[in-house]
Amino acid sequence: MAMASSGNVLQEKQFQCTICMQVFTDPVTTPCGHNFCLACIQSVWESSDVCQCPACNKSFSSRPEISINTAFKELADTFRNIIVSSSASPLLAAKPGEVVCDVCAAMSQQVKAKKSCLGCLTSYCDAHLEPHQRVATLKVHKLIDPVKNLQERMCKKHDRLLEMFCRDEQKCVCQFCTETEHKGHRAVKIEQESGERKVQMKETEADFKQMILERGCKIEEIKNCLKLSTISAEKELKENDRLCTSLVRSVQERQAEVNSEVREKQKAAERRAEELTDELQQEIDELQRRRAELETLGSTDDHLHLLQRFSALTSPPPSKEWTEIGVYPELCVGTTRKALSKLDDTLKKELDSLKRNEMKKMQKYAVDVVLDPDSAHPNIVLSPDGKQVGRGELLHIVPDNPQRFDPVICVVGKSGFLSGRIYFQVAVESKTFWDVGMVKESVNRKGMITSKPENGYWTVRLRNGNEYRALDSPSVLIPLKEKPRTLGIFADYEEGTVSFFNVDTGSHIYTFTGCLFSERIFPFFSPGVCDDGKNTAPLIITAVNH
């Protein structure tokens, strides 16, 4: 900072700190009479094991108590303002949010800081940073990009710079902390820990990038699945419309045929009735004529004429056996019954066809279910291929896994499902007890089980060989005309339904609706009790024939 006159040069040196070579900021005076900036002298004393004056090297047995010389501070601030106002160097004004030079800020100037010093705990602009590039005691200070709140980088307990990192307690500490309460802990320089963390951050960043990519792909997969599901649903709707239209058309056509036959029968009956009525009327006319003649002859004295006409008039005229002739309404009723019987046969065939088509649609979503031995109760026996589950006579010695059911004798499939439609089949023909359905992954597997939707179970069971019940809330008794040999289970994750069918007849047994699937769901099987030897056959997961 050059001045125009030697007097001014002399005055500038009087107000210049010999450490930072700048006009005093918060000047203090040492016991030996020398003046320094408060931050500068504190930085020198904290960076050295010996407390001495930087100007005369006088040593002090303990750090002197120093305070700001307020009168000298006013003179230094006044002189600084004079220098700033006369300076030809332009000041780089700080923008909102940027770190300002602390020295300039003390002069009410908002100048952008270039660096922050961790030794001085001060931020400097270009002009005030110059001593750190020239003065030996300041060159060793750690300079970083400008940051705010430098006081937060000081240990609140020891008032020293946080320059170490304790790995045991995962926190930044000062050097004095590592020698006291953190003594014996794994402590490293914060630069070393930061470097290692940066490597971890890069690895984590790469992991996040991969996770983002995977989730983006999953989104596309879900969109494609939804698109395919929409196409499939539209096809199913069209097929259902076609089948229903065909069914209605069959009914209408058969109805027209029946009506036509009934009308023809009625017309034939009307013609027959008219013919018979005409014949009967002719006979009535003839009988009335004879009756009149007989009445006339009965009052005549012409005995000869009476005898001549007697035989002809008293014998009945030719006639049919009318008691066996008639027009019977049951002829039409019989026709209708026969037609309805044919219609029933047609409807049954159409409905059977509809059931078969619906079963085929569900079977398109068949999954390969393999039983999970880690979930099987110790008393359960699984086939080597994981397709059959039966009850053994003795408990097997198996690891007590958290996912293993105990004491309820059951098992779930290895694979769970988070979306889509699921179909599988179970042969139950030779059994008198069983439970089959779907369960949530998080169901309680230890202790007694209450199978109902609130607990994550959607199952149907058989008891005593003929009592079928859906374990809904409340449970529902299912009257079945035919005992299913193979049970079909169909779950729609998005629709929230689990349905059960008789595969052999294609008939519907029961459907759970409004199922809240919020996690993976698994096929569930329980082979039941022995039932005095009547229930020894296993449950068998059968292949689906499309």
For residue range 357-402, list pLDDT tens digits in order.
788 889 999 999 999 999 999 999 999 999 999 998 777 888 889 9
Q: Which of 410, 379, 451 lies closest to 539, judged by CA?
A: 410
Query: What range defines the domain where residue 46 resides?
Result: 12-86
Contacting residues for 181 by C-beta, under 8 A, at least 6 apart: none
Distance CA 106, CA 115 (A): 17
Please report the pLDDT score of residue 474 as a whole number.
93
How many folded domains does the chain comprise? 2
Average pLDDT over residues 513-522: 94
Q: Which of 49, 66, 86 is the last residue of a domain?
A: 86
State pLDDT tens for residues 33-78.
899 999 888 888 888 888 999 999 999 988 888 888 888 888 887 7
CATH number of the domain encompassing residue 38: 3.30.40.10
* Residue 400 domain flag: yes
Q: Which two tokens stand for residue 446?
A: 């230890």
Contacts 24+ apart (CB under 8 A), 14-18: 15/75, 15/76, 15/79, 15/80, 18/54, 18/55
Burial 86-111 (b: 16+ CB within 10 A, else e): eeeeebbebeeeebbbbbbeeeebeb
Q: Is residue 484 part of a domain?
A: yes
User: Which amino acid makes up residue 311?
Assistant: S
- Output the pLDDT for position 392: 85
Average pLDDT over the chain, rounded to an integer: 84
pLDDT tens column, 455-496: 999 999 999 999 999 999 999 999 998 999 999 999 999 999
267 within a domain of the structure (yes/no): no
Q: Which residue spans within 365-506 are E strands per DSSP?
A: 380-382, 388-391, 411-412, 421-427, 434-440, 457-463, 467-470, 476-478, 486-492, 497-502
| Residue at 407 is within a domain | yes
pTM exceeds 0.75 for this model? no
Is position 130 within any domain?
no
Q: Which helix (H) or strand (E) holds 540?
A: strand 539-542
- Average pLDDT of the residues in 81-90: 56
Q: Is 377 contained in some domain?
A: yes
Token digits for 223? 């969109």
| Boundary-marking domain end, from 54, 86, 118 | 86
Which residues does residue 422 pair with via DSSP β-bridges, in sequence order?
491
| Terminal alpha carbon distance of the chain | 95
**Rounded distance between C-alpha atoms, residue 378 and residue 52, angstroms:** 81
CATH code for the domain of 484: 2.60.120.920
Domain finish residue from 86, 109, 142: 86
pLDDT, residue 88, reads: 42
Domain presence at residue 49 = yes
pLDDT tens for 394-446 read: 778 888 899 999 999 999 999 999 999 999 999 999 999 999 999 999 999 99
Q: State the amino acid at position 106 in one-letter form.
A: A
pLDDT (average), residues 131-150:
83
275 falls within a domain = no
